[in-house]
Every structure is written in C-alpha cells, then in structure tokens.
Chain A
Amino acid sequence: MTFVTDSILSWVTFLPLAGALLILLFARKDNIARLIAMGVAVADFILSLHLWFHFDNANAADQFTELVPWLANGKINYSMGLDGVSLLLVLLTTFLGPLVILSTWSAIKHRVAESMAFLLFLQTAMIGTFLARDMLLFYVFWEAMLIPMYFIIGIWGGERRIYAAVKLFIYTMAGSLLMLVAILYMYSQAGTMSLDGFMSLNIPAEQQMWLFLAFTLAFAIKVPLFPFHTWLPDAHVEAPTAGSVILAGILLKMGTYGMLRFSIPLFPSAAIEFGPWFAVLAVIGIIYGALVAMVQKDVKKLVAYSSVSHLGFVVLGLFSLTAAGVAGGIYQMLAHGLSTGALFLLVGVIYERRHTRLISDFGGLAHQMPVYASIFLFVTLASIGLPGLCGFAGEFMVLFGSFSSTLLPHAKLLVILSSTGVILGAIYMLWMYQRVFLGKLANEANQSLKDMSLREIFVLLPILIFIIVLGILPGPFLEKIEPSIDRLLTPVLELRQETPADHHITIPHTNESHDSQTEMEIH
C-alpha cells in the first residue's frame, strides 16, 4: 500500500474524479452509477481517515507533502500539502460526500449518472482547493468547483434554476478574476507560483492593500459576506438538496479558508489595517442575516440567510487575529457544515413529500412525523449553539477571542453586537420550528405524510453523532489545528511586535494587559 500512502493527498483528491470518469465512460445505468459513486465516496472517506490517524499534531508545517514539477521549469509545481486546518476541512468534505450521494437516491431521478459524476468531480475540486500549495494549482481547483456546481443547480434545480446558476457563476467569477490578477502580479514579483515563495515576498504595505483587497473580495463573495450575499438565497432555493448541502457544508468554507490561508498570512499589514472592515461587515452580517432569516416564508431561504449569520461569526473570528478567535472560526466552520448540512437534508425530506417549502403550508407535523420532528429539533438546537452540541464551542471561542483581541479596534463593541446573534438565532429557528411542527395538524395535505424512512435516518445519523462529538469533545480537533493556526498568524504577530509605534498602522491598545495578552497569543 505504500504507493497509496506515499502520495496519499493525490489519492484522496483524485479518487472521486476517477470515479466520475468511470461512471461517465462505462456505467451510465442509474443504480450502477449510484453504487459506484457511493463506493468511491466511502473509499475516499476511508482513505482520508489515514490522514487523521497519521497526522503529527505537534508539527505546524504542511504534512504528507507532494511536489512534482509542472510548468515553467519548476516555477509552477503540482504541490500539495496538508496542515491541521486543511485536515479538518478535507475530512468534513469526505465525510459529507457519501451522505450527500445517499441523499440523492430518491431525490434525483433523471440523468442520474451525470449527477453522480458531477458530485464526484466537485469533491475532487473541493479537496484539491484545501490541499493545493501552489497558487496556480489552487486557482485551477478553485475555479473547477464552479463548473459542476453550475450544472448541479442548472440541471437538477428548481424553477428558476438557470437564473440562480448564472448568478452564482458570474458573481463568484467576477471576484475570482480579481484574485487571478493579484496572483499573476505576485507571480511576476516572486518568480514562482509556490505558496512558500509568495510567503517570503516582502510586499510593501501600500501594495499589500490592493492585493489583500483583491484576494479578500473574492473570498468574501464566496463566504458570502454581507453585502455580497444575495446570490446565496437564490442558489440555495433553486439547488437540489444535494447541491444545497454541499454549498452550505463545504463551498462556503472556501471563502473563509482562503482568508485564513492567504489573505491574513500573505498580507499581514493589510490584514491588520483592513481586516477590521471585514470584521465589521461580518458583524453586520450576523445581525442582518438573522433578522432577514426571521421574516422568510420559505424554510430553505430561512436556512440560507441563517448561513450569512453563522458565517459572519467565522469571519469575525478570523479577523480578530487571535489564536482563539481563529480556532473558534474553524470550529464554527465544521459545526456549521454539520448542522446546516443536516438542515438542508431535512428540508429535502419534507420537500420530496410535499413539493413545497412554505412554512405556512405546514404546522403540527410533529403529530404525523415524530421522528422527523425530533431530529429536526435536535439539529435546530445545534444550529442555535446549545452547549453540549457542536455550535457552542466555536461560537464561544470566536466571541471570546474577538473580545480579547488587541488588533481589532472596538473589539468589545463588535462582540456585544454579535452576541445578540445568540438571541436572534433562537428567535428565527424556534419560531420556524413552532410554525412547521407544533400546533394542530390542520392542513389536510399533511395528514397522510409518512415519517422518515430508514434510509433517510441513516443519512442523518452520522451527522447527528458528530454534532454531539464536536460538542462534548472539541479537544482532539482543536489540538490538531493549534500549531497550524499559530503558524498562520505568525506574520501578523511578528509585524505587531516589530512596529507597534513607528509604522503607519495604528494599533489601538488601551488595554493595560496587552503585553501579557500578546505573549499569550504567541504562546
């Protein structure tokens, strides 16, 4: 097996693509395509477990690295690597993969083989994005994600699927092109496309600003950060369940991942200077997303807007530029992937039965579908950050880290504002739950609904288990990312130490304890 373990990252990345090709070329029958896709996704998950068990927690650098010269005499390489942050996100991807495929069993009935192929293709692109350590390679994976997503929404989506798909495509493309320009500029400066090469560039502060903005804008659209979010509700509402789960579970994390992997360490001075603006947008998004979610009439749209709110916490944590805030942000990414992924699966369950998602069409479903109602409530509680479930630890660390941040101006005010999200989250979720599940089962169309099937429960079960695991055992996950986070924040903290006063960047530090604070962060 050494030929697998020696290039394990490539195996994990490209196995799904191989599966996709296999399906398209040789196995276009519906059930065979499904089985192959399922088998490949499960195999990919098992392969990725190798990464978890052989990961060296103490090592902050990339592990399992692969480097193959690709273009331009070694200036551009096929370079893959994995640190703690990538590890958790890759595992989230491979974990959700088989569940998503299983969820399409009854939802997707036409052009099955193609749908399976696109899902697998998408998985390769997503994993590659998390693992690429060469900027061109990263960009290829990054853009490659759009193509299958476009087709998944455009072919298997709802009524306005073309509008939604085109909007998604053009919107995110526009941002990405800015990033491409920035990458090419940095390539001309560094003479290499390797991330390490970019890292060792000493970019003057004025240039950092433009490059930082180009990168971060592309990522902000993907997150999506307020006010770049309006593609998301359309995409979610029109996407089939599988598309929504991947979109919410993983694709949105590409934006926050990019901020952490590139925006902050590559442009530390700009991150200190302009990061706070993105933190402010994040806080607006937390409140705005929650308020707009509250007034939605469509369950799926409600969940979509709730993502704007949840992802706001992640961005706030990242730009707190504290280890705890960043760790909380990553943890929140995992938690949101599980809870919101599960919510979209659950919305899919009822949509398949009733072909409506309007809250007003329901009411009293708990009488007719007690298992469904129980699972939905459980996930709802996870989503609103009930302690003991996955949502709490991340939210807590984000807010606590941000509260203690000395680099983020008005950090305490921002945390106070964001903490209202704790109240608003409960309002929009529990109100929706009340209107859909409680009260009398008045609508006749709901009176013969069948409760969840075993297959549907089985799809949710692994997610439910991990919602609890992440809630009560954050330790094993946090210890994997701690050294990587310290490494990613090093450029910012070094800059902060060198030039507290003479640099033109003003760093507010009214807090008496800021010296010991800094020690803590470096520590």
Chain B
Amino acid sequence: MESTLRWIVLIPLIGAALNGFTVRMMPRKLAGIIACSAVGISFLLSVRLFIAMIGMDVADRSLHDLVYTWISFGGIQIDVGFAMDQLGVIMALVVSGVGFLIHVYSIGYMAHDEGSNRFFAYLNLFIFAMMMLVLGENLIMLFVGWEGVGLCSYLLISFWFNDEANAAAGKKAFIVNRVGDFGFLLGLFVIGVNLLPHLNPGEGLFAFSVLQHHAHILAPAATVIGLLLFLGATGKSAQIPLFIWLPDAMAGPTPVSALIHAATMVTAGVYMIARLNFLYVLSDTAMLVIAIVGAATALLAATIALTQNDIKKVLAYSTVSQLGYMILACGVGAFATGVFHLMTHAFFKALLFLGSGSVIHAMSNEQDMRLMGGLRKKLPLTWPTFIIGTVALAGVFPFAGFFSKDEILWKAFSDGNIWLWITGFLAAGLTAFYMMRLVVLTFFGKNRASDEVKSHIHESPLTMTLPLVVLAVLSIVGGWIGIPHFMGGGNHFEMWLEPVFNSSHHGAAHAAAAHADHAAEVAMEWTLASASLAWALIGISLGTFIYMKKIAIANAAKRFAGGSIYKVLLNKYFIDEAYEKAIVNPGYKFSNGFLFKIFDKVIIDGILVNGSAFVVAVTGSLLRLFQNGMVRFYAWGLFAGVAMFIIYLQLAS
C-alpha cells in the first residue's frame, strides 16, 4: 500500500507528459479528460490512504515510500521518497480534491483557447510538483516541489504571453520567489552543517523524521534556521516583504489564480512551517517574527483590497490577507488551526476565484468592477455560490471561514499578545467590508457595461458551474469538522492533527491553562466568537449599505485627507515603486553604467589587458624580425621550442 504514495505524485506527471509532448496532435476534449483523470486518480488514491489511515492506530498513521537514494556522498545522504502522515494526507486531499474541481472547471473555461492542451499539461505538472512538496519525506524533496510549483506558476502566469505584461508578471513571480529561496537554501545549509556530524549511518540528512529526532541538536541554531526558512515562506506565501508578486500573478487564467494563487501553492509556506513545527517552537524569536509578519500582512493587504477596482485584484489581496492569518496562527503555535484555515480557505477562495472567472467569462473578459453590476439575475448559479463564498470568507456563522478564522483570533488572543489579536480582528472587519463592496459592485445595481458586452452576458456551462456548487457545499460544511469544544463540537480536525504537532510547547501550555480555569476561558471564547461574528456582520452591513444606498460616503472617504490616503491604498502603498527605485533601477544602472561599460570594458579590458598588450607591441616593434603579427608563426614557434627542449633532454641524457 505504501508504494501508492509515489503514484499519487507521479500520475499527474504522466498526464502532463501525455499532453505536453502531443500538444499539436491531441484533440482538445481528450486533453482535458486526460488531465482531469490524472488528478482524479491522485485524489482517489489519497482518499484510499486516508480511509486506511483512519483504520490504523494513531501511532501507525505514518506511511513511507522510499524510491531511491538521490545523493550519498561523504556521509551526506538524501533520499527520493515520500511520506504521508495526518498532515500530509490533508494536504494531499486538498490539493488533489480542489485541484480536480478546478481541472474540470478549466475544461469549460479554456474551451475556446488555442493553447488549452498546453494549459492542461502545465496544470498537471503543477499538481505533480505540489504533491511532491506536500508528500516529500525530506526538506530537499520539499524544496524540489517548492521550485517546481514556482516554475508552473511562472509558466501559467505568463500563459498568454502575447501580452508582454503577462510575461513580465510571470518573471516577477519567479524572481521574487527566488529571493525567498535564497533564504531557504541558506536555512538548509545551517541545518545540514549542524546536523551532519551527529547523524547515524543511513539517516537522511534532511529527512523530517531525522530532523525531529535530532531537533535538540538544532536548538541553538533554531532562530537562524527558522528565520531563513521563513524568508522562503514570505516569498511563496506572499507575506511582507515579498508579497508584491501575487497581485501581478492575476495575469494568469482565472483557474490558475484559483488553484495556484489561492488554494494550494501559496499555502506552501504555511505547510512548511507546520511541517517543521518541532523546530519552530524551539525559537520564541522566530515565532514572534512570524506572528507579527502574519498579522501585519493580514491587515496591510486588507486595506489595499478596499480600493482595488479589478475583481481579481481584490481577491488577490484578500488571499494575501488570509495567508497572513494562517502565518499568524503558526506564529502563535496554533499550527493545526493554521492548517484548518488553509483548508477552509482553499474551499471558499477557490470558489470565489472560480466565481469571478464565471463573471469575467460572462462579461467578455472584463475585470473592472466599475463596468459590472446587476449580474445577480443573469448568473443564477454563479450568484448564490459566490455569496456563500463571500460569507464564508467574511467569517459568518456557520460557514467554514467562521470556525477557522475565529479559532486563529482566539489562539492569538490567548497567546497573550493583545496587539496580534487587535490587528487580526481589525482585518476581519475589513474583509467583510471589501467583500461586500465587491459583491454589490458586481451583482447588484445596474449593469454599467457597453451594450455590446451586455448582449453577451450568459451563465457558464455545466463544467464550470458544477465545481462552483461542490465548492459552495464545502464552504458551508467544511468548517464543521473543526467545531471547537466550547461550542459543543468535537474539534475533530485538531485532534486528527494532534500527533503531528504534539511537540509544540505552545499547544501544551494552552491545554494546561484550559484545564486550570475552564469556565472563565469558555466564557472568554464565547465573548470573542460573538464579537467576531458581530464585527463581520457590521462589516457586511456597512459594505452593503454604503455601496448600495450611500455611495456618497465612499466618495467622501476617498477625498478624506485630500485623497492622499486613498491614493496610497490604491497604489498599494507604493511598495512596487519603492523596490523599483531602491533596487531594480540602481541595480541595472550600476551593472550597465559602471560594471560593464567602465570596469569591464575600460579598466580591465582596455587598460590592463589591451594596454599591456600595447606596451608589449611597442617594445616588440623594435624586434620586428620576430614580431610579424602572425599567430601561426607563434604557434609553430611554440612547437619548435618544445621540440628543441625535447631534443635537448634527449641529448643531455
């Protein structure tokens, strides 16, 4: 059974190869079916292992599939192998499950695109890399998957490469992620150097089980390792300071935004931290940094989302913000909660992106919400599913997002740092507000598009709406597996993951505290949960009221403080421009103006190389007999010299 693991990973690769090498010949429909089947099989195999795992003793819920040894050199051993535990199986189910739905959706969405076969090949390749990331048994495998999903992201963002802007967005995503990878690699080196002398023969240097076993050895370096790896996570999971690539990534086709840039790939950083929880809990500093970055990102991105006019950009900043919550959860040691939000977010954010895709499809590729409106009646399936996704994201009881987000806020609160909670709480209200703004602008009021566009508005085909319905159901019920104890739920989700995170001292401390003063704590949990819900409802009501009835309030807000605040938010705090001015432009000018044109051409080549050659030439002109300028002459001269030397040796002996 354990060798099933490799097939979960490899079957999507086979699908990608089938479609990739036959791009021209493969009929479009068949390509879609192949791609969907490949992911579908992966999903079914994951389900099978999940069921098997449920039937096992808790201690045995860890499957291993060693394929071969990648490197074995001087005591460094790195294997190619897969492992699945309680965390891995959830990730595998989310990736292949949501992935499958989005593949099906893509059949409809890409039906008229000439490059749809190429699209499906990339999409399958992505699932392969993502599965490697979540099922790899060591950090190197994780990194291979990590880079692989980055590549697919690059390919898919610049999928419509005819527009240079799309190509630039793909490149930006790759390069910004590479900045993160720089930190990730250094983190790997610090781990390796510290661990290598203590390994027993046959232990893989970066294997998770080995890392966990020897975690105490890494304790002195835990802060450095944790922060370096976290730099990688800020790239992949779009956190401050590297989140700037994700909004641009919306240049890719919408299913890509749903799958890669909302549901799966961008959660890789969260997964990595959760996977290495035993390392992170060894460093309070690293944990604090992570919590602060997460909370700050959640708020910062939510403020930007308030002002964006592109429907996908709003959702993109919302994703950045929600990823901030997950990171915050990890930072306060609530790894299981972070993963819980990862899962519910995968459902409702995929739903929202696919819904926006359906809207864009109906609007003849228009993405500006100022030119939408009134689509409620025209899109009878998209509209209700979209509103379900919205309330789930806003955190309304009993939808999925309520349970996971509320749990994060509670964990942040009980961690003792009130500012983390306040930041997260503020962002939650903004979330509800900007989502209602989006909903009202898109689905209510009059349609503001041109007549030409209006005449084409239509609901999407079944392959697109069916995934919406499934995801809508998941966005409702998905949170119910994690209903907390104080509400009378079993919190099955956290209990399932507990063996993975049981080393977390944070969790243990909280459990102890919970027992000490149970009644007071339950009361506090009820208070906070009610406050969250009320706060979300306020955000929703305000958003609805302002954008439906009193648009003047929004306009007044825009003009507040001379419009400067609005301008800052609309332009995303000018962070892109700052990077451009501080790094990109000076870097290019320095390289081109100084390094290449002056240092390389003039100083080294001009003065040192050709200058000394010139001196030699002038001197040599006195010896014109030998200096005939024919390198052929020198070449044979060289040979003659060697020959004379050889003859000399022969005679001398």
Closest A residue to B609 by beta carbon equals A230
In the assembled complex, the CB of A138 is this many whole angstroms from the nearest CB of chain B, namely 12
- Chain B, interface SS category: helix
Question: Per-residue CB proximity of B154-191 to A under 8 Å, as 1/0?
Answer: 10001001111001100100110011011001101110
Residue B384, interface by CB 8 Å: no
Query: Which one of B174, B197, B653 lies within 8 Å of A520 (CB-CB)?
Result: B197
Residue A482, interface by CB 8 Å: yes
- Which residues A378-427 have CB closer than 8 A to chain B? 381, 386-388, 393, 396-397, 399-400, 403-404, 415-416, 419-420, 422-423, 426-427
Residues in A with CB closer than 8 Å to B198 are: 516
Residue A57, interface by CB 8 Å: no
Residues in B with CB closer than 8 Å to A140 are: 642
Known: A294-B591, A426-B175, A474-B70. A146 touches B75 (CB 8 A): no
Query: Which one of B73, B186, B190, B613 lies within 8 Å of A397 (CB-CB)?
Result: B73
- Which residues A421-445 have CB closer than 8 A to chain B? 422-423, 426-427, 430-431, 434, 437-440
Check if A154 sits within 8 Å of B73, measured CB to CB.
no
Check if A482 sits within 8 Å of B74, measured CB to CB.
yes
Check if A404 sits within 8 Å of B646, measured CB to CB.
no
A343 and B182 CA atoms in complex are apart in Å by 25
Known: A291-B591, A295-B588, A387-B143. A166 touches B653 (CB 8 A): no
Query: Which one of A173, A399, A440, A513 lies within 8 Å of B189 (CB-CB)?
Result: A399
Query: Which one of B151, B631, B649 lies within 8 Å of A166 (CB-CB)?
Result: B631
Check if A230 sits within 8 Å of B186, measured CB to CB.
no
In the assembled complex, the CB of A207 is this many whole angstroms from the nearest CB of chain B, namely 22
Known: A388-B144, A388-B148. A146 touches B164 (CB 8 A): no
Query: Which one of B197, B600, B609, B631 lies within 8 Å of A169 (CB-CB)?
Result: B631
In the assembled complex, the CB of A322 is this many whole angstroms from the nearest CB of chain B, namely 8
- Which residues B579-638 have CB closer than 8 A to chain A? 587-588, 590-592, 595-596, 600, 604-605, 608-609, 613, 631, 634-635, 638
Residues in B with CB closer than 8 Å to A456 are: none
Question: Per-residue CB proximity of A149-192 to B under 8 Å, as 1/0?
Answer: 01000100000000001110111010000000000000000000
Segment at the interface with B among A70-78, A197-205, A490-498:
A70-78
Residue B484, interface by CB 8 Å: no
Check if A381 sits within 8 Å of B151, measured CB to CB.
yes
- Which residues B97-145 have CB closer than 8 A to chain A? 140, 143-144
A169 and B637 CA atoms in complex are apart in Å by 13
- Which residues B386-431 have CB closer than 8 A to chain A? none
Residues in A with CB closer than 8 Å to B190 are: 403
Check if B197 sits within 8 Å of A517, measured CB to CB.
yes
Residues in A with CB closer than 8 Å to B646 are: 71, 136
A416 and B188 CA atoms in complex are apart in Å by 12
Residues in B with CB closer than 8 Å to A523 are: 74-75
Check if B164 sits within 8 Å of A438, measured CB to CB.
yes
In the assembled complex, the CB of A144 is this many whole angstroms from the nearest CB of chain B, namely 8
Residues in A with CB closer than 8 Å to B80 are: 472
Query: Which one of A75, A422, A482 lies within 8 Å of B185 (CB-CB)?
Result: A422
Check if A438 sits within 8 Å of B196, measured CB to CB.
no
Residue B374, interface by CB 8 Å: no
Check if A415 sits within 8 Å of B189, measured CB to CB.
yes
Residues in B with CB closer than 8 Å to A367 are: 162
A227 and B207 CA atoms in complex are apart in Å by 41
A276 and B73 CA atoms in complex are apart in Å by 24
In the assembled complex, the CB of A6 is this many whole angstroms from the nearest CB of chain B, namely 26
Check if A165 sits within 8 Å of B631, measured CB to CB.
yes
Check if B197 sits within 8 Å of A420, measured CB to CB.
no
A382 and B426 CA atoms in complex are apart in Å by 45
Query: Which one of B72, B140, B194 lies within 8 Å of A475 (CB-CB)?
Result: B72
Residues in A with CB closer than 8 Å to B168 are: 434
Residue A323, interface by CB 8 Å: yes
Residues in A with CB closer than 8 Å to B495 are: none
Check if B144 sits within 8 Å of A169, measured CB to CB.
no
A143 and B179 CA atoms in complex are apart in Å by 43
Residue from A171, A381, A422 whose CB has the most chain B CB atoms within 10 Å: A422
18 A-B pairs with CB atoms under 8 Å apart are A136-B646, A147-B635, A169-B634, A294-B588, A295-B588, A364-B161, A403-B189, A404-B189, A420-B182, A423-B179, A426-B174, A434-B158, A439-B161, A439-B164, A513-B193, A513-B194, A517-B197, A520-B74
Residue ranges of B at the interface with A (Cβ–Cβ < 8 Å): 23, 68-76, 80, 140, 143-144, 147-148, 151, 154, 158, 161-164, 167-168, 171, 174-175, 178-179, 181-182, 185-186, 188-190, 192-194, 196-198, 587-588, 590-592, 595-596, 600, 604-605, 608-609, 613, 631, 634-635, 638, 642, 646, 649-650, 652-653
